[in-house]
Amino acid sequence: MRPLLLVLVLAVGLTSARWMRKQRSDQPKDTSFIGEATNELSTTILQGYIDDDKDIAFSPLGYSTILAILAEGAKGETRSQLVSALHLPEDQNLIRKTYRY
């Protein structure tokens, strides 16, 4: 009885996941720039600690998300600097859609 229940639960879960993925038709096609931007930012942050003999723990995704939120509210030179530091595209709508998913 238990193996049958396990198979049933897995089947329902996989079907639901596939259905949910199909529902997001407005998701941008190329969302890899968020991961690349997060990697670049984390590398830059870690380079600042390369000479220290201390342990460090931080969340690169947390940093990039916070800075992207700041860039969303910034204008002019400040926004340009944040977008450049995060290696994000200039298209603000693309950034919004990508972070939404």
- Kindly report, residue by residue over 14-41, the tens digit of the pLDDT: 666 555 555 555 555 565 778 888 888 8
Nearest Cα to Cα of residue 70 among 60, 80, 57: 80
55: DSSP letter: -
Choice between 21 and 7, residue whose per-residue pLDDT is larger: 7
38 domain-assigned: yes
Q: Is residue 13 part of a domain?
A: no
**77 in a domain, yes or no?**
yes
CATH code at 85? 3.30.497.10
The reported pLDDT for the residue numbered 78 is 94
Distances (CA, A) of 99 to 7, 23, 31, 33, 88: 34, 17, 9, 11, 11
Is residue 5, in this structure, part of any structural domain at all? Answer: no
Nearest-angstrom CA–CA distance, 34 and 98: 8
Which residues form the domain of 79?
Answer: 27-100
Average pLDDT, the chain: 78
Average pLDDT over residues 7-17: 66
Confirm whether 87 is domain-assigned.
yes
Contact present, 37 and 87 (Cβ < 8 Å): yes
In this prediction, residues 40-69 reach a mean pLDDT of 86
